[in-house]
Amino acid sequence: MGSSKIKIAHYTWWICGIIGLFIGLAQADGRINGYGIMGVAGIVNGVVFGWLIGFIIDKIKEFSPVQNMTQKIGEIKQEKELIQQTKDSLKDYNDAKQRFQYLSNETLLEKFQKYVSLEVSDMERLALEEELVERGVLTHSPMHEKLDKIIEHFKTQ
């Protein structure tokens, strides 16, 4: 493991030492097993076993199958996030497409001019351009041209 990773053994030894102290004091009866001796014995046992447990956990974390699993889990999370973003974009597109079909040409052109002046490219603009092309107000969709160039770029690589 690199130095940037947290070592579990740095923390488990003192946590288990504190737990060992309580266990040792709970086992003391005051006559045969004195509180001081049992407290120290509990601390020592807790520290030793805590460090050993932390060391074993650290070694397991360094084991390559564990790292591979962690990496795969991260990739799956990213993939799910991308899928959700795609679903949200398609929902935005479909909602905009539905709304725009009922608006006047003037309102659609005003919205288009705002998108052009702000240089915004999103799914709503795509739906807006498609509606304007379908109505014959625009001769082509600039976003579709961008998408076509992007697709061609990735096909050549």
Residue-wise DSSP of 88-117: HHHHHHHHHHHHHTTS-HHHHHHHHHHHHH
User: Does the pLDDT value for residue 13 go beyond 60?
Assistant: yes
Q: What is the average per-residue pLDDT within 32-39?
A: 80
What pLDDT, on a 0 to 100 scale, did the predictor assign at position 5? Answer: 65
Q: Is-above-0.85 flag for pTM?
A: no
Comparing CA positions, the residue from 11, 102, 119 lying closest to residue 58 is 11
Q: Identify whether the C-beta of residue 14 lies closer than 8 Å to the C-beta of residue 47.
A: yes
Q: Identify whether the C-beta of residue 27 lies closer than 8 Å to the C-beta of residue 39.
A: no
**Residues, the chain, total?**
157
User: Does the pLDDT value for residue 147 go beyond 90?
Assistant: no
What pLDDT, on a 0 to 100 scale, did the predictor assign at position 100? Answer: 92
User: Does the pLDDT value for residue 78 go beyond 90?
Assistant: yes
Query: For all residues of the chain together, what is the average pLDDT?
Result: 87
pLDDT digits 0-9 by tens, 45-54: 999 999 999 8
User: Does the pLDDT value for residue 91 go beyond 90?
Assistant: yes
What pLDDT, on a 0 to 100 scale, did the predictor assign at position 2? Answer: 44
The torsion of the CA quartet 141, 144, 148, 150, rounded to 10 degrees, works out to: 120
**One-letter identity of residue 58:** D
Distance CA 127, CA 71 (A): 37
Dihedral pair phi/psi, residue 21, rounded to 5°: -60, -50
User: Does the pLDDT value for residue 126 go beyond 80?
Assistant: yes
What pLDDT, on a 0 to 100 scale, did the predictor assign at position 33? Answer: 72
**One-letter identity of residue 44:** V
Contacts of 22 (CB under 8 A, 6+ apart): 42
